[in-house]
Amino acid sequence: MPSNTADLVRKSLIRKARWGIAEIAFWLVAAATLFFLPGRHLILNEIAIIALFALSLDLILGYAGIVSLGHAAFFGFGAYVAGILAKYGFADPLLGLGGAAIAAALLGFATSFLVLRGTDLTKLMVTLGVALVLGEIANQASWLTGGADGLQGVTMGPVLGLFEFDIFGTTAYAYSLTVTFVLFILARRIVVSPFGLSLRSIRDNPLRARAVGIPVNRRLVAIYTLAAAYAGVAGALLAQTTQFVSLDVLAFHRSADIMLILVIGGAGYLYGGLIGAVGFKVLQDILSAWTPQYWQFWIGLILVVLVLVGRERLTDRVKALWPRSRGRAADHAQTLPATKAQEV
């Protein structure tokens, strides 16, 4: 019987690892915008960065059930690390990404033990508190971060020593989109692995997950650290492509915007953050041009409408296009044997 269960799980993982037509089409369209929308590369670059940021939050919220109101802490920390490295002579973009990822991952690992304690409300307050503390440190350490004036003098070298950043955002968008795609592939492999299935089991029923032998705390620490690294890379991309870092990267509205993006696109399947980022940024661009003073009101109204009509009825049709990345196989996650869970 255990061998039959293991075979079913293995076949399910293989099936989920395959790319669907809709997934391929999604990324082909994203790549095509690089050539067919040359005048929109700056906003497309923002979308790619926000999409990666939303993806990082979805890893902990949608797949592990960890709520956070301070995810901007890792985003801003990564931005400052990349910006400071570039300002003081380490101008290689990939080096900055690596440094930001490691720094944010260490911060995520250090704070993950605080997040493991208490209820969802406690987690919200702890994550928000971490972001507020970092924001105040960045404000006071003006000798390093520039304080309220922002970190200036950030100069980036060419990507791979070949592609210089330009004022039109072409290199920036290609760079951000490529990094987002590579990290998406990694996240996709993770969520359809036995590790990813164990996360869903923890999200749905932590007590049962412990009972079948899943090391719950270690799993949560691991995914929280990984999500922090992803957010740090997103922040580094923003710092590198804009060549400026301000206190805004640690502001509460950054975390709130990402939560809103997941409300729009849906949590628990990787494309939710990507689609939500596109929808949010396009709406913001259109509404701010139409009514500069009231665009936030209209986005809030749209959010209320989504809640009233039932967002699931709208997003479930989209999720159906990506059944393998959606993570709907809770039954497989909950029937995952202890031996399989402990292998990862």
Residue 58 and residue 312: Cα distance in Å, rounded? 16
pLDDT band at 121 (very low <50, low <70, confident <90, very high): confident
Q: Are 250 and 129 in contact (CB under 8 A)?
A: no
pLDDT band at 20 (very low <50, low <70, confident <90, very high): confident
Bridge partner residues of 151 (DSSP):
245
Instruction: State yes or no: pLDDT of 334 exceeds 50.
Output: no
Q: Are 262 and 219 in contact (CB under 8 A)?
A: no
The number of residues making up the chain comes to 344
SS3 readout for 198-264: HHHHHHHCHHHHHHCCCCHHHHHHHHHHHHHHHHHHHHHHHHHHHCCECHHHHCHHHHHHHHHHHHH
CATH level 3 topology of 16-343: ABC transporter involved in vitamin B12 uptake, BtuC (1.10.3470)
Instruction: State yes or no: pLDDT of 294 exceeds 80.
Output: no
Tell me, what's the pLDDT at 142? 86
At 221-254, the pLDDT tens digits run 999 999 999 999 999 999 999 888 889 899 888 8
Question: Can you read off the two tokens belonging to residue 20?
Answer: 């669907």
For the chain, give the percent of residues with pLDDT over 90.
32
Tell me, what's the pLDDT at 310? 56
Surface-to-core class of residue 36, CB atoms within 10 Å of its CB (0-12 exposed, 13-18 middle, 19+ buried): exposed
**How much of the chain is in helix, strand and coil states, percent to nearest 5?**
75, 0, 20
pLDDT band at 315 (very low <50, low <70, confident <90, very high): low
For residues 274-290, one letter each, b for 16 or more C-beta atoms within 10 angstroms of the residue's C-beta and e for the rest, the string is bbbbbebbeebeebeee
User: CA-CA distances (angstroms) from residue 272 to 309, 321, 328?
Assistant: 18, 12, 14
| CB atoms closer than 10 angstroms to residue 185 | 12
pLDDT band at 341 (very low <50, low <70, confident <90, very high): very low
Tell me, what's the pLDDT at 329? 41
pLDDT band at 295 (very low <50, low <70, confident <90, very high): confident
Instruction: State yes or no: pLDDT of 325 exceeds 50.
Output: no
Q: Are 265 and 276 in contact (CB under 8 A)?
A: yes
- Predicted TM-score (pTM) of the model is 0.85
Residue 37 and residue 147: Cα distance in Å, rounded? 36
pLDDT band at 314 (very low <50, low <70, confident <90, very high): low
- Closest listed residue to residue 241, CA positions, set 77, 49, 88, 76: 49
Residue 341 and residue 332: Cα distance in Å, rounded? 12
Domain spans, the chain: 16-343
Residue 308 and residue 289: Cα distance in Å, rounded? 27
At 27-79, the pLDDT tens digits run 999 999 989 888 889 999 999 999 999 999 999 998 888 888 889 999 999 99
Tell me, what's the pLDDT at 264? 84
Most confident of 18-22, 25-29, 201-205: 25-29
| Range 104-123 average pLDDT | 84
Residue 314 and residue 308: Cα distance in Å, rounded? 12
| Range 1-11 average pLDDT | 57
User: CA-CA distances (angstroms) from residue 308 to 300, 305, 314?
Assistant: 12, 5, 12
Q: Are 165 and 42 in contact (CB under 8 A)?
A: no
CA R_g for the chain:
20
| Torsion sign (Cα): 229, 176, 135, 73 | negative
Q: Which residues are CB-contacts of 89 (< 8 A; sequence separation ≥ 6)?
A: none
pLDDT band at 335 (very low <50, low <70, confident <90, very high): very low
